[in-house]
Amino acid sequence: MNEYNTIQTEYLRASRTIETVLVSNKHLSDLFFIYNYEGISFRVFKTHLDLINFFLNKSESDYHFDTGDAVDDFLAEVKLTA
Protein backbone atom coordinates (compact mmCIF):
# COMPACT_ATOMS: atom_id res chain seq x y z
CA MET A 1 0.00 0.00 0.00
CA ASN A 2 1.27 3.46 -0.89
CA GLU A 3 1.50 6.49 1.31
CA TYR A 4 0.66 9.89 -0.17
CA ASN A 5 1.11 13.45 0.98
CA THR A 6 0.10 16.75 -0.57
CA ILE A 7 3.24 18.83 -0.90
CA GLN A 8 1.69 21.87 -2.59
CA THR A 9 -1.76 23.27 -3.29
CA GLU A 10 -2.34 26.01 -5.84
CA TYR A 11 -5.69 27.82 -5.79
CA LEU A 12 -6.95 28.75 -9.24
CA ARG A 13 -10.23 29.89 -7.69
CA ALA A 14 -11.72 29.23 -4.29
CA SER A 15 -13.28 25.96 -5.49
CA ARG A 16 -10.65 24.89 -8.05
CA THR A 17 -7.22 23.67 -7.03
CA ILE A 18 -4.18 21.86 -8.32
CA GLU A 19 -2.47 19.64 -5.78
CA THR A 20 1.00 18.21 -6.14
CA VAL A 21 1.02 14.87 -4.35
CA LEU A 22 4.01 12.70 -3.49
CA VAL A 23 3.09 9.01 -3.60
CA SER A 24 5.60 6.57 -2.14
CA ASN A 25 6.07 3.05 -0.89
CA LYS A 26 9.05 1.20 0.54
CA HIS A 27 11.18 1.44 -2.59
CA LEU A 28 9.71 3.98 -5.02
CA SER A 29 8.12 7.42 -5.13
CA ASP A 30 6.42 9.51 -7.79
CA LEU A 31 4.64 12.84 -8.14
CA PHE A 32 1.05 13.19 -9.30
CA PHE A 33 -0.88 16.34 -10.09
CA ILE A 34 -4.57 16.52 -9.18
CA TYR A 35 -6.95 19.10 -10.60
CA ASN A 36 -9.96 19.44 -8.30
CA TYR A 37 -12.88 21.07 -10.10
CA GLU A 38 -15.32 22.24 -7.43
CA GLY A 39 -15.17 18.93 -5.57
CA ILE A 40 -17.21 17.17 -8.25
CA SER A 41 -14.51 16.24 -10.77
CA PHE A 42 -10.95 15.17 -10.06
CA ARG A 43 -8.40 14.70 -12.83
CA VAL A 44 -5.08 13.05 -12.06
CA PHE A 45 -1.98 13.62 -14.19
CA LYS A 46 1.33 11.77 -14.12
CA THR A 47 3.38 14.72 -15.37
CA HIS A 48 3.28 18.48 -15.10
CA LEU A 49 3.37 18.67 -18.90
CA ASP A 50 0.21 16.55 -19.14
CA LEU A 51 -1.50 18.96 -16.74
CA ILE A 52 -0.45 21.97 -18.81
CA ASN A 53 -1.63 20.30 -22.03
CA PHE A 54 -5.01 19.66 -20.41
CA PHE A 55 -5.52 23.39 -19.91
CA LEU A 56 -3.95 24.58 -23.16
CA ASN A 57 -5.16 21.93 -25.58
CA LYS A 58 -8.14 20.43 -23.75
CA SER A 59 -6.39 17.06 -23.87
CA GLU A 60 -7.59 14.23 -21.66
CA SER A 61 -6.24 13.54 -18.21
CA ASP A 62 -4.58 10.25 -17.32
CA TYR A 63 -7.33 9.44 -14.79
CA HIS A 64 -10.72 10.95 -13.97
CA PHE A 65 -12.71 10.48 -10.74
CA ASP A 66 -15.99 11.78 -9.37
CA THR A 67 -15.07 11.80 -5.68
CA GLY A 68 -12.11 12.60 -3.48
CA ASP A 69 -12.42 9.17 -1.88
CA ALA A 70 -11.95 7.53 -5.28
CA VAL A 71 -8.77 9.58 -5.79
CA ASP A 72 -7.50 8.48 -2.36
CA ASP A 73 -8.20 4.83 -3.21
CA PHE A 74 -6.34 5.20 -6.50
CA LEU A 75 -3.29 6.82 -4.91
CA ALA A 76 -3.14 4.16 -2.22
CA GLU A 77 -2.96 1.37 -4.80
CA VAL A 78 -1.37 2.88 -7.94
CA LYS A 79 1.67 0.98 -9.20
CA LEU A 80 4.78 3.17 -9.02
CA THR A 81 7.52 2.82 -11.60
CA ALA A 82 11.24 3.46 -11.42
Give pLDDT, residue 60: 85
pLDDT per residue of the chain (82 residues) written in tens, 0 to 9:
999 999 999 999 989 999 999 999 999 999 999 999 999 999 999 999 999 999 999 888 889 999 999 999 999 999 998 7
Give pLDDT, residue 62: 84
CA 36 to mean position of chain CA atoms? 9
DSSP 8-state class, residue 61: P
DSSP 8-state class, residue 66: S
Q: Is the pTM of this model over 0.75?
A: yes
